[in-house]
Amino acid sequence: MTEASLKICILGNSHVASFKTGWQAIREFYPNIEITFYPFNGPSRTSVFFTSFTPEHDSLTISNPNLKARFIQLSRSDGYVRPNEFDQMLVVGGFHWWHGIDRTAYSTQVIQAALRTHVSKANIWPFLKNLRKISDIPVALTHVPFVASREVSIARAQAGYQDEVKLVNASVLASMKAQMISQPEVTFGPYLQTHLKYAIGEYYLQKGSADEPKQVLVDDRWHMNSAFGAKFLVKYLRSLSVKANNLDLPVPMGHVPINAQGKNVFQVY
């Protein structure tokens, strides 16, 4: 096996699942890239996950013992993230992108100030502060994907989204040596919504006790499939000047019943 020329750490909440399955589909086209995943999902709010990291020597670890045990299980690690062992870090799902405010009712200055406040109060901020105490690793961020919908909703228009990302990168994240990677435009449906074909879709989740098991149909329009993760990773790698020839991307075939055997689709880690 060729030694990796670029080592990337991807850390985040349950939305890491689409990135991991997406990477499994395209990794053969990037023989010199090595990606290590540090995912988290679980019964507690994942916002606590981002705010629970504390620096310890040259590592980050989780102070809450229950969260740490869950993190060790999912990431198959010793519970420590060592940023200086990597060349790049991508943090997934650290916050929701804001819904914006009426652009006709407020000045540009007010809108920009509100956006900066929204990002600086996000769950990702304590994580970045603790990271910078031990490492200068270049960091890219993604927000939680825009929800997918079966129909046009009252979600805000796409106008202004790319400019807002540039503003945040220049005025908020620059101080943390981080940058936001915007959601790939090809994944958008109407307005600021993800196209339905990129959503995981319906799946059956086993619930209840061993004596009285039951299957619950979950309609998941928040979590995305491997096609979404692959497209996002291609965009991210291109931002690092890494390109692949003859890239074969998975076909987005989301939002169909995909696992009627009662297995949670998030068990991909």
Place of tokens 């979950």: 218
Distance CA 108, CA 219 (A): 38
121-164 pLDDT, tens per residue?
A: 888 899 999 999 999 999 999 999 998 877 666 566 667 788 88
Q: Where are the domains of the chain?
A: 6-239
89-116 pLDDT, tens per residue?
A: 999 988 888 776 666 777 878 888 888 8
Q: Which two tokens stand for residue 33?
A: 């890239």
Kindly tell me if the per-residue pLDDT of 217 is higher than 80.
Answer: no
25-47 pLDDT, tens per residue?
A: 999 999 999 999 998 876 555 56
CATH 3.40.50 fits 6-239, yes or no: yes
Query: What is the pLDDT, as a whole number, of residue 9?
Result: 97
Query: What is the pLDDT, as a whole number, of residue 256?
Result: 58
**Cβ 120 vs Cβ 203: under 8 Å:** no
The share of the chain scoring above pLDDT 90, in percent, equals 36
The structure's pTM equals 0.84
**Cβ 144 vs Cβ 220: under 8 Å:** no
